[in-house]
Homo-oligomer: A and B are copies of this chain.
Amino acid sequence: MTYKILDKDSIPEYLDGLPKVMDVLGKGTGLDIEEIGDGNLNYVYKIRRSDSPDRSVVLKQAVPYLRMAGEGWPLSRERMTFEIRALIVYNDLVPTFVPTIYHSDEEMSVLVMQTLDDHTVVRYSMIDGVVFSDIGHDVGTFLAETLFRTSALGMESIDRRRLMDQFNLNDELCKLTENFVFTFPYMEHESNYLNPVTNKFARENLRCDTEYKLRVLKFKELFLTKADALLHADLHTGSLMANQQETYIIDTEFAYFGPFGFDVGKIIANFLMSYTSHFYHSKDDSYQNWILVEVMNIWKRFEVRFLELWAAQGESAMLVDGLLAELELREYKKRFMLNILHDSIGFCACSLARRTLGIAGVADIRGIEDMEIRSKLEIINLELSRLLLSMNDKINTIEQFESTLRSFYANINLDSLELVK
């Protein structure tokens, strides 16, 4: 079907030709169509059968510009091609963690999928102090299943290169990450967030720290050149929708083959920024303690499940029977997981800095109106970024990571919100 932008008037006719979608919506009276979503990038509609509102789907369509900025900011609608392709892969690998696809159309840049009515965006729920009891476990499982099973350990070589080929041209969104995560926050740049206090700290402590910047560049190089596995590549708490029973991962348009640690480190960074924000949002440390437990659960579950999948895997691009003896394989696995841990902590440090200094902040902190408090929390995140990037390859167990985080946060003076050194 030739591309055209759908609207409330043209959607019913478009859906009418799609048997799977009509199975979900059922036959009957008209459709109620409501525009939802934050509208930053795409059009998102919720569509219900008028007389059976529990029969519903979500339709998402990309337009060939940055919707929040208008037609003057062109952005290829190809991003929906990659969102569709990744969601198809995830529907296969981790069907319980992603919306079911009812219809996808790369030509029309349209995706029709399961409605998540009973779930909230985790970032905003975490600002409100909602506890999700399984979230660390769920995120860890999602990471292990998607990263292992698209890696050279979990796939045969030729199949894997053919899967990579589906994502190789997601170049515009990769470039956004390269610039906005790994470049602009570490220099004076017009796109950066302009809080003078936070910026002064960055200028005096990060942007003149050679070691810090060269380590950021090391992780930028990994993002640009290391194709470990199919990444979600934008896995933050705003890409999670959850309730007390389920966790869903959404918004897969950045999907690309990149380094394992990028997804792992980015989601952990977002949990840690929530932790920092609760020096303000909470009156005691109980919610913060829950967050830290869940951060540990993300890694622990990721590691356990990754190794389970590895144990169940036959030959792969990396390993064939008869190459490694049992003790050699054990040592190889140990080094492999350690390397992912080091990289995850490094990428976590980069995410902390970019979400503090770059154009895209996190609502957990940018939503705080009191600028003095906001600046202090921002500086805490930058101090943490600096600490983690100075020692990411010296933290050799998840317990060491936990104690590093606990000591760091224990040194925050609760009255001044400053790091006591």
Complex: A224 Cα to B225 Cα, angstroms: 11
Verify B157–A171 contact, CB threshold 8 A: yes
Q: Are A328 and B210 in contact (CB under 8 A)?
A: yes
The docked-state distance in angstroms from the alpha carbon of A170 to that of B111 is: 31
Q: How far is the CA of A208 from the CA of B328 in the complex (A)?
A: 9
A152/B331 in contact, CB under 8 A: no
Query: In the complex, which range does the number of interface residues on chain A fall in?
Result: 35 or more
CA distance A33 to B350 in the complex (A): 61
Please, which residues of chain B bring their CB within 8 A of the CB of A183?
320, 323
This protein's copies in its complex: 2
User: Which segment of A49-57, A84-92, A159-167, A362-370 sits at the interface?
Assistant: A159-167
A213 interface residue, CB < 8 Å from B? yes
Q: List 8 A-B contacts (CB under 8 A).
A: A157-B171, A164-B168, A183-B323, A187-B320, A208-B325, A217-B318, A225-B228, A226-B227
Residues of B within 8 A of A331 (CB): 210, 214
Alpha-carbon gap, A225 to B27, bound state (A): 49
A-B CB proximity, top 7 nearest: A161-B171, A158-B171, A157-B175, A152-B224, A187-B323, A210-B328, A165-B168
Residues of B within 8 A of A164 (CB): 168
Residues in B whose Cβ lies below 8 Å from that of A225: 152, 226-228
* Interface of chain A residues 150 through 195 with chain B (CB within 8 A): 152, 157-158, 161-162, 164-165, 168-169, 171-172, 174-175, 178, 183, 186-189
Residues on A lying within 8 angstroms of B by beta carbon are 152, 157-158, 161-162, 164-165, 168-169, 171-172, 174-175, 178, 183, 186-189, 208, 210, 213-214, 217, 220-221, 224-228, 317-318, 320, 322-325, 327-328, 331-332, 335
Which residues on the B side are within 8 Å of A332 (C-beta)?
Answer: 214, 217
Do A178 and B214 form a contact, CB below 8 Å, given A157-B171, A323-B186? no
CB <8 Å contact, B157 and A162: no
| B162 pairs with A171, CB closer than 8 A | yes
User: CA of A174 to CA of B332 in the docked complex: distance in angstroms?
Assistant: 23
> Within 8 Å CB of A189, what residues of B?
322
| A152 and B320 form a contact (CB under 8 A) | no
Q: Given that A224-B152, A225-B227 are contacting pairs, would A161 and B169 also be in contact in the complex, using a CB cutoff of 8 Å?
A: yes
Q: Kindly state the separation between the CA atoms of A332 and B228 in the bound complex, as whole angstroms.
A: 24
Task: Tell me which of A157, A175, A178, A331 has the highest count of chain B C-beta atoms within 10 A of its own C-beta.
Answer: A157
Q: How far is the CA of A158 from the CA of B178 in the complex (A)?
A: 11
B217 and A322: CB pair below 8 A?
no
- Residues of chain B within 8 A of A175, CB atoms compared: 157-158, 317
Q: In whole angstroms, what is the CA distance A133 to B318 when docked? A: 40
Residues of chain B within 8 A (CB-CB) of A210 are 325, 327-328, 331
With A and B bound together, what is the CA distance between A145 and B186 in angstroms? 30
In the complex, chain B residues whose CB is within 8 Å of the CB of A220 = 318
B174 and A213 contacting across the interface, CB-CB below 8 Å: no
Query: How far is A267 from B366 in the complex, measured between Cα atoms in Å?
Result: 54
Q: Compute how far the CA of A188 lies from the CA of B318 in the bound complex, rounded to whole angstroms.
A: 17
19 extra interface residue pairs, beta carbon distance < 8 Å, beyond A161-B169, A165-B168, A210-B328 = A152-B225, A157-B175, A157-B178, A157-B224, A158-B175, A161-B168, A161-B171, A162-B169, A164-B168, A168-B168, A183-B323, A186-B323, A210-B327, A210-B331, A213-B324, A217-B318, A217-B324, A217-B332, A225-B227
